[in-house]
Amino acid sequence: MSLMADPEIVDLYVLRRFVTAPAAFVQMVVTLYESAPPRRMQTPGGRLMSSEMTNCGALGWVSDHAGYRYVTQDPLTGSAWPEMPEAFRDLAGRAALAAGFGIFEPDACLINCYRGPAQMGAHRDADERDFSQPIVSVSLGAPAYFLWYGAQRRGSPAKLWLESGDVVVWGRSARKGYHAVQRPQGEVRYNLTLRKAG
Ligand code: SIN
Ligand code: FE2
Question: Which residue owns the Cα nearest ligand 1 atom 3?
Answer: 193
* pLDDT at residue 1, rounded to an integer: 41
Tell me if 120 CB under 6 Å of ligand 1: yes
Residues of the chain with pLDDT under 50: 1-2
Q: Which atom of ligand 1 is nearest to the CA of 146?
A: 8
Can you give the pLDDT at residue 93? 98
Domain count, the chain: 1
Ligand 2 centre to CA of 125 (Å) is 5
* β-bridge partners, 115: 188
Write out the residues surrounding ion ligand 2, Cβ under 5 A: 125
pLDDT of residue 38: 98
User: What's the pTM value of the predicted model, to 2 decimals?
Assistant: 0.96
Domain span holding position 14: 2-195
> What digits encode the pLDDT tens for the residues 83-109?
999 999 999 999 999 999 999 999 999
Say what the pLDDT of residue 4 is: 62
Cα 136 from Cα 167, distance rounded (Å): 7
Among 2, 7, 9, smallest CA distance to 171 is for 9
pLDDT of residue 8: 77
Ligand 1 in reach of 119 Cβ (< 6 A):
no
Which residues 6+ apart lie within 8 Å of 5 measured at CB?
12, 13, 14, 148, 158, 160, 168
* Ligand 2 centroid from CA 127, angstroms: 10
55 lines ligand 1 (CB under 6 A): no
CATH number at residue 112: 2.60.120.590
pLDDT tens string 40-65: 999 999 999 999 999 999 999 999 99
C-alpha 180 to ligand 1 mean position (Å): 7
- Please give the backbone phi and psi of residue 22, each rounded to the nearest 5 degrees, phi first: -60, -30
- Of the CA atoms within 13 Å of residue 184, those in its CB half-sphere come to 21
